[in-house]
Amino acid sequence: MLTKESQTMCAVAFIRGYLLGEERSKKLIEKYKRQGEKITEQINNANGGMFTRNIATRNYYFKNKIHKNKDKFDQLLVLGIGLDTKADVMEELEGKQVFGLDISADNISNIYEEADMTTKSIILNCDLTNLKKENVLKKLKDVGFSLEKKTYIIWEGGTYYIENSKVKDIISFWCESINVVGISLDFLNEDVFYNKAHPNRLVIEKVLEILKNSKEPWVGFFTPAKLKDYFSSLGFKEIEVVMHGDIESKLYDNPKVIEDLLFFITVF
């Protein structure tokens, strides 16, 4: 039986597998195809198809960043890894160790077992909002993670559900504890969500209400300018910010996600 968290993971995997044509994701959640499809339909019906389009856009973005920066890192750390398949489908990650942290690691393991599949990713259970208590560094070292190797971090779709200050605490923890050479993340745009005069205000409020009622509210909002300053203070020299709409419009002729609702950042 799927937990609430694994239902959301299966919806994302359903989109990757059955709508984007990734065979591994399709096989991974074949047993739960109907549930994944139902959840996807429910969310898309509420936001005009933005859910599917966001997953497709960010899937492209993060894979593209791994491809472009493959020679800059030795190991990959995926925060909130879910049913992410990059370690198993991307040639760029061959020969590199991939580690994943997720509060639903047990659910993830069960889904792989039910699908009679394994993953190259080494996935550990971890509450990202309580890293020091989790003793996560020891857990990672015990499974082969190196604190010294050049590490690239990706955090896809996870900052939305954590408050601004805690997200920064998490990022700072990693930058202080391991050899982080680069990070790629996506964020909710505070300039849009706090703008009462935004032309798509009614749609935005509807989405927020749906998420609040589902007990999974969005609480982490950020401004690109402040994040640039923050990452600069951590010592990163290359800081790239791009709006979701700029990426989606490269992939589709009819963008569905409000163009500045979310944005991506990659730093090195």
pLDDT per position as a tens digit, 36-47: 999 899 888 878
pLDDT given at position 76:
99
Q: What would the pLDDT profile of 139-153 be if each residue is shown by its tens digit? A: 999 999 999 999 999
CA 224/CA 160 separation, integer angstroms: 15
The CA distance from 182 to 205, in Å, is: 34
pLDDT at 125 over 60: yes
pLDDT, position 5: 59
| Residues above pLDDT 90, as percent of the chain | 84
Tell me what pLDDT residue 141 has.
98
Token pair in block for residue 38? 């139902």
Query: Do the beta carbons of residue 86 and residue 66 sit within 8 Å?
Result: yes
pLDDT band at 208 (very low <50, low <70, confident <90, very high): confident
- What pLDDT, on a 0 to 100 scale, did the predictor assign at position 204? 86
pLDDT given at position 111: 94
Record the tokens describing residue 6, joined without a space: 């694994």
Of 3.40.50.150, 3.10.20.30, 3.40.1350.10, 1.10.3720.10, the CATH number of 47-267 is 3.40.50.150
Tokens of 154: 């990706």
Give residue 3's pLDDT band: very low, low, confident or very high (50, 70, 90).
low
Name the residue with higher pLDDT: 108 or 210.
108
Tell me whether strands 239-243 and 262-267 are parallel, antiparallel or unpaired. antiparallel
Residues 6+ apart with CB under 8 A from 247: 57, 60, 61, 264
Chain segment 150-202, per-residue pLDDT in tens: 999 999 999 999 999 999 999 999 999 999 999 999 999 999 999 999 988 88
Assign 4 a pLDDT band (cuts: 50, 70, 90): low
Kindly report, residue by residue over 71-103, the tens digit of the pLDDT: 999 999 999 999 999 999 999 999 999 999 999
